[in-house]
């Protein structure tokens, strides 16, 4: 075959190969769709045989949505997340560890950890802005939880919470009263106070006293009104009798009879 024909054949073959490769890439892009775009600062990895997704120091203000659903360990620490909404992690059925420490979390909605009850064994909520959280937010959760270094309000609600969850070993001393109905409790470890104080019983007594004071106040108001009403009627009756005395005798007797009937 002449050299010119061989060159032409080679060019045609290369052209066909390039065209086929372009069509193949186009087909793959249409079928598979675009690659998942993770939030800036987030990346998947594998640690000790576990699939890990790290978003530490990523300046996040909410829980990312595109977390791979086969993730075993999720790090969302050192961000700016302010609260955990309902079903925040429902698409992560294989999650074993969840680190939410060093955020700005001040609220945890009931149902925020739904879907994690069976597998999750470690949850870190330390160094946030939690003041008061309902025990229902951790319903059926079997994980060990770190609640230390938060500005807790020490009351019955916190007592119910710490009795519901299993605390991480060594973290209980970090649950300190930032505020309390009893000033002497501020700055003290909550679990130590619980050894001598039943905060729920204290709350019940306070509520009972408040109800008693309220009832006494209403009772005093009613008595005061009755006394005022009786005195006012007595004063009106006295004035009317004095008026009757100043009338002629015949008219006075008729008016007195009417007054007596009215008073009776």
Tell me the pLDDT tens digit for each residue of 78-123. 999 999 999 999 999 999 999 999 999 999 999 999 999 889 999 9
Q: Are 142 and 117 contacting, i.e. CB atoms less than 8 angstroms apart?
A: yes
d(CA 56, CA 80) in angstroms, rounded, equals 11
Stretch 140-154: mean pLDDT:
96
List the domain boundaries for the chain.
Answer: 36-197, 198-232
pLDDT digits (tens, 9 = 90+) for 32-58: 444 457 888 999 999 989 999 999 999
Q: Does residue 166 register a pLDDT over 90?
A: yes
Average pLDDT, the chain: 80
Helix or strand or coil: residue 184? helix
Of 105-119, 123-137, 142-156, 244-258, the range with the lowest mean pLDDT is 244-258
Position 186 scores a pLDDT of 97
pTM tops 0.75 = no
- The percentage of residues in the chain with a pLDDT greater than 90, rounded to a whole number, is 56
Could you tell me the two tokens for 117?
Answer: 């009850």
Q: Which of 12-16, 18-22, 127-131, 181-185 has the highest mean pLDDT?
A: 127-131
Q: At CA 153, angle to CA 204 and CA 211, rounded to 5?
A: 25
d(CA 52, CA 167) in angstroms, rounded, equals 23
d(CA 126, CA 133) in angstroms, rounded, equals 13
Q: Residue 177: phi, psi to the nearest 5?
A: -70, 115
Position 117 scores a pLDDT of 81
Of 42 and 30, more confident: 42
Give residue 140's pLDDT band: very low, low, confident or very high (50, 70, 90): confident
Q: Report the 10 Å Cβ neighbour count for 191.
A: 14
Position 241 scores a pLDDT of 62
Position 37 scores a pLDDT of 73
What is the DSSP track for 185-228?
GTTSBHHHHHTT--HHHHHHHHHHHHHHHHHHHHHHHHHHHHHH
Q: Does residue 185 register a pLDDT over 60?
A: yes
Of 63 and 15, more confident: 63
Q: Are 89 and 62 contacting, i.e. CB atoms less than 8 angstroms apart?
A: no
Q: Are 203 and 174 contacting, i.e. CB atoms less than 8 angstroms apart?
A: no
pLDDT digits (tens, 9 = 90+) for 211-245: 544 554 555 565 665 666 656 666 666 666 666 56
Neighbour-count burial of 240, counting CB atoms closer than 10 A to its CB (0-12 exposed, 13-18 middle, 19+ buried) = middle
Position 206 scores a pLDDT of 45
Position 53 scores a pLDDT of 97
Helix 156-164 vs helix 199-245: angle between axes, to the nearest 10 degrees? Answer: 150
Position 33 scores a pLDDT of 41
Q: Which CATH superfamily is domain 36-197 in?
A: Ribonuclease Inhibitor (3.80.10.10)
């Amino acid at each position: 075959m002449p050299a010119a024909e061989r060159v032409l054949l080679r060019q045609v073959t290369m052209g066909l190969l390039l065209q086929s490769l372009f069509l193949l890439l186009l087909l793959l892009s249409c079928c598979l769709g675009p690659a998942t775009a993770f939030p800036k600062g987030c990346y998947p990895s594998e640690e000790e045989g576990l699939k890990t997704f790290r978003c530490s120091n990523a300046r996040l203000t909410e829980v990312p949505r595109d977390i791979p659903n086969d993730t075993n360990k999720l790090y969302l620490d050192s961000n700016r997340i302010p609260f955990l909404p309902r079903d925040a992690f429902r698409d992560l059925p294989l999650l074993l560890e969840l680190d939410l420490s060093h955020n700005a979390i001040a609220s945890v909605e009931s149902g925020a950890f739904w879907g994690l009850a069976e597998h999750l064994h470690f949850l870190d909520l330390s160094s946030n802005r939690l003041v008061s959280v309902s025990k229902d937010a951790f319903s059926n959760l079997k994980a060990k939880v770190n609640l230390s270094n938060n500005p807790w309000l020490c009351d019955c609600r916190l007592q119910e919470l710490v009795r519901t969850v299993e605390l991480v070993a060594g973290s209980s001393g970090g649950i300190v009263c930032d505020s309390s109905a009893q000033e002497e409790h501020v700055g003290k470890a909550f679990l130590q106070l619980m050894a001598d104080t039943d905060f729920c019983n204290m709350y019940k007594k306070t509520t009972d006293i408040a109800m008693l004071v309220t009832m006494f106040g209403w009772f005093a108001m009613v008595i005061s009104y009755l006394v005022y009403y009786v005195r006012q009627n007595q004063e009106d009756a006295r004035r009317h009798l004095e008026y009757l005395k100043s009338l002629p005798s015949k008219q006075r007797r008729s008016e007195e009879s009417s007054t007596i009937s009215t008073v009776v």
